[in-house]
Amino acid sequence: MTDRPTALVTGASRGIGFAIATRLAEAGYDLIMCARRAETMAEAERRLSATGARVHAVQADLAVEEDVRRLIGVCQEKCDQLDVLVLGAGIGTGGPIEEVPLRHFDKLFAVNVRAPYTLVQALLPLLRKGAAANPRQGAKIIALASITGVYPGPELAAYGASKAALGALCRSLNAEVSASGVSATVISPGFVDTDMTQWVRDEVDPAGMITTADIAELAMTVTRLSVNAVVPEMVVTRPGGQLHRA
């Protein structure tokens, strides 16, 4: 794209993904972004471009293999190297184990695990080039998971299992590739004030939720760490009696 650092952010049109994409753009990164909905993606692209970043938006449903492959193709075409990969796209569903249909389970794993695995697998050569070009800091993979992948929550077995798998992927990546300058961090927050927590707002006041700015700040901290500092996971919880709970 340019001689500026480049980041790919999935799920970048709203919520935590948009907050991180905004911070990256303001820090001087050019962006490839993807989102499932064309209308929210267009608005996010407009706002991110206003920072002065070059933004290339790709409409993609990461539950669809062809869309994942098309996103990979765009990155390979547009980028000589990749400095940051933010795995922000994700979906959630809840319900008792005996009631959640297997098709919902399969879609959770398609979006929350298979798509990140596919993206990392295909884009590692670009990330290694990014690390080689910036040996002081290397290249960073930042995956957005959930506290339910670390500590159990009722009626969130399928969702928690998918986020636990994403965390395991990041830890395995570090064991395999961090010596080459590419490291992965999974951020696992409790309830964040986004559209995804609308379902619980009758029980949890949004004013007491973690903010998207909190998570974006942690993500930006990871991008500034030296190549010698590998942070496998950050668990972010709400205060008081909600420790170790969403």
Q: Give the DSSP letter of residue 210.
A: B
Task: Decide if 188 contacts 170 (C-beta within 8 A).
Answer: no
Question: How far apart (Å, rounded) are the C-alpha atoms in residues 175 and 160?
Answer: 23
Q: Give the DSSP letter of residue 211.
A: P
Q: End-to-end alpha-carbon separation of the chain, Å?
A: 39
Angle at 34 between CA 112 and CA 45, to 5 degrees: 145
3-class secondary-structure state, position 189 = strand
Is 159 in the active site? yes
Q: Mention every residue, 6+ apart, whose C-beta is less than 8 A from residue 99.
A: none
Q: Give the DSSP letter of residue 188.
A: E
Among residues 29, 117, 151, 159, the one annotated as catalytic is 159
Burial of residue 50 (CB within 10 Å: 0-12, 13-18, 19+) is: exposed
Give catalytic residue positions: 159
